[in-house]
Every structure is written in structure tokens, then in C-alpha cells.
Structure 1
Amino acid sequence: MKIVKIGCCGFPVSRKKYFKEYSVVELQNTFYNLPSKEWAEKIRSEAPESFEFTLKAWQVITHPHKSPTWKKLKTKPPGDPENYGWLKPTKENVEALRKTIEIANILGSKIIVLQTPPSLPCNNDSFEWINKFFEEARSITGDKYVLGWEPRGEWAKRKDLLEKILVKNNVLHIVDPYRADPLNIVDNIIYYRLHGIGRGEVNYRYKYTDEDHEKLVEKLLSLEYRTAYIMYNNIYMYQDSKRLKEILSSKQDIQVL
């Protein structure tokens, strides 16, 4: 039987309430400022044993130091700022990934989300360095973790180059299901991040309709997978995720968590 896990990117309600109503969350604070081991231990102890944490990888791995998001960093990472971001195979990025994995290990997380910005160049040079980064990353994570990549900008459009990297390095392709289908699935997992429907890549103010949800349900019924993650990342994530749960719960052959 297919399993569909529905959750939110971050906590739209108190953690206590969220843990009672959901089976999974994608942590967002891990992106802006990697939390302490003590914080990870605390939140893991607050949640039910069966609750799953996925996490968005530390921004210094994916976003260059000139990115506006770096302004939210409380402590600048060590080393040369130029060597951070854009999935470069530098010692700085690799060490930042190791630190992210340390937090994932405490949380019992399996899936680590790497979301790259539209500013990431899409050319032969970046193709080579991203390949090298994922080769190094896979040597660190082994089979214990699933690395997922959600590219933005030109990389999201260049399916030929993107698929080569994903398949070669066994990287899960993370997409918004209303914009694209995954080019690579890992461990029979599909991972969707829903950013709202609109002209651009994100429209956080969008509220999904029942018609939107039915289209997603049709896709979930037709695709082959073992576990699908539906992670809402819009202003109405709490209401929208609840509604999808209601609609999916009436369908046979799918277990909704």
C-alpha cells in the first residue's frame, strides 16, 4: 500500500499541537542558522517516537555569501566566504554538510533537502562542480540519508543536465507537483514541496482549491512509489494540508499519515 505523509515546511501552529496532528515536518530553522545539538535533542524528545523530521540543509551550502538570506546568519561560518554556496565541492561546503548531518542524526532524519537559488549558474563548469559535490556528499552520507535537490532558476529547466547529476549520484529530485515531475526517485520516495500556484516559481500567498487538491490526488494515485511526502510551504499551509488529508483519507489503496 502507498503511504502519503502530509506536513508543513516549518510549524504553522505550536509544536505541541503540530505533533498531535501531523506525522512529519520539514524544519526550516536548520536553513537559516544551524541549531545546536542540544536544541535538536530537545525537539526530538518533545515529539512522538514515530514522528519524522526532514530538514532543509544549512544555507551556506546552497546559497553564496552575497545572498540576502546570509543576513540572518547569527554567526558567520569559518573559512573563505567565497568558497560557500552553490554546491561547490569545497572543504567549507563539505564541512557545513557534515555539521548538517550531525543535526539530522540527532533528529533521526533520513531526508535532507538542498534548495539552490536561481542565481546558481547553469553551465559546464557548474555541472562539473555540482557532480563533484554530490560525489563527496554521497561518500559521507552513504545509504543512511537521502539527499534531495530542489533547483530553482535555469537548473530547474535544464532537465538534460539535471537528470544526469541526479541519476549518477542517486539524488532525489524534489519538485513542486504543480510545476514539474521528478526526474529521479530514490528509495521509492517522492518528495513534493508546494509553494503555491502562479506565474513564478513561488506564490506563497496562494490558497489551494479543492480542484487543485484533486489534481494532486490523481497524480498520487497514478504514480509508482512507496512513500510520498507532501510538504506545504505557503501562507495557508495549515489549512491546505488539513484539507488534502480529508480528501485523501477517502481514497482506497493509500495510507495517509
Structure 2
Amino acid sequence: MKLIKLDAIDSTNDFLKSLSSQDELENFTVVTAENQTKGKGQMGAKWSSETGKNLIMSVLVKDFLFDNEQVFNLSIVVSLAVLDALKSLNIPDLCIKWPNDIMSYNKKIGGILIENTLKSDGRIVSVVGIGINVNQTNYKDLPRGSSLAVISGKTFDKENLAILITEKIQEKIELWITSSSLFWIDYFNSLFKKGVPMPFKNLQDKNFMGIIQGVSPIGKLQVLLEDDSVSEFEIKEIQMLY
């Protein structure tokens, strides 16, 4: 595993994408940064972090995805890998808020942004951006945010966590062929607020009640509605009100 450590960068994902287009980079190359000036979340949302306090990393993943219909498989692998790494640090009550926010109790402690590039030879090369709130303790402007330090009362080594997460991703990718159905089950069992009535908001700002039933093979959230029908939603088509 090749580890590239940066002090400050606009985006570790953008840096790694640029690097991977120029060189034949080793699979699972990792880029970390102490500060990221243009951090991104899902669908272009901004993500910011106190300098030096949190884990900001991107991982190169090649030779796993071979079809656009499979891209959510990598989201499952990565989110479960992050959960495994955090469980080993005794972080309590972990779950995944669809599609891949990492939660402890009702607080968000991390997020994942996967960007896929289709190469001219048909290969899909993925850059997996992971942000984990590690040693930051001030969340006065983010009432739904928290960190490993706030939850556990301890500080953590960010580099060790980056290595651990990457090792977990590698392990799960190696096991995917024989264990993919088990990973899907683990992902569903780890979903935040699954199986309980929850208020949601749609793109028209209309509130409605629903129950999370699962996730489709291409990653859409399946929600049981009050009329007993099940609807599927893309990212940003639905907001959970919790």
C-alpha cells in the first residue's frame, strides 16, 4: 500500500484522480491531507474540517467494478470496511445512513464520496474519498455532527486509522466474489433507522411518512409508503428528517 501524505490540498479525490490519470499507480494507493480547502460530499455538497483534527483520505480502487450497474457494490464494501475499522476502536452504536454516511448513535461521524472514471479500455477506476471526524470536538454549528474523540473521550492516530480502513477495504474486495450476498445482508442490517416509521421530505419539500425496506441492486433507497406501495429514491431525491 502506497501512502502519500499532504499538508494542504484542495481535494484529495481530485489530487488522486489527477495522479492516477498520469501514472500507472499501485492499486489501493492512499492520499491523506491535514487540510482540504475544497472538500466535497455527495452531489457536490461541501465538506469542511478543522485543520489537522480529522481523517481526510482518498483510496484508489482498480479491478473491482466492471459494469456501471455494479457501482453501488463498492459503496457497500467501503462503508462496511469503515464500520469494521471503527468497531475495532470500540466506537459504539455504529450504523450507515443511506447511502454511506457513518453514524454513531444519531450523530454523523463520517462520510464517503466515490468517484468513478470509465477508461478507454472499458475499465472502471474508482477514487474513494473518506472523511472521518476524529479529534475535532467543536460541533456548535453542526448539531448532528460528532467525532470519535467526543464519543469515546479519547484521541486517535489518524494515520493508523487510514491504514486500517484501507486494509479492511482490501480484505472485503478479496472476499467479494464468495461473500457478496453476505455483505449486502450486513449492509442492510447496518442501515440507520431501517424498519421504523420515519418522516421524510421529497424534492417538492413535501413531508411524508415511510419505512426503509432496503436498497435496490443499483443503490436506490426502497421506502414503504402509507398506501402500502414501495417507492425507490435516488440520492438527494429524499431527505430523512430525524
Question: Which has the larger share of helix?
Answer: 1
TM-score (norm 2): 0.24
Question: Which has the larger share of strand?
Answer: 2
TM-score (norm 1): 0.23
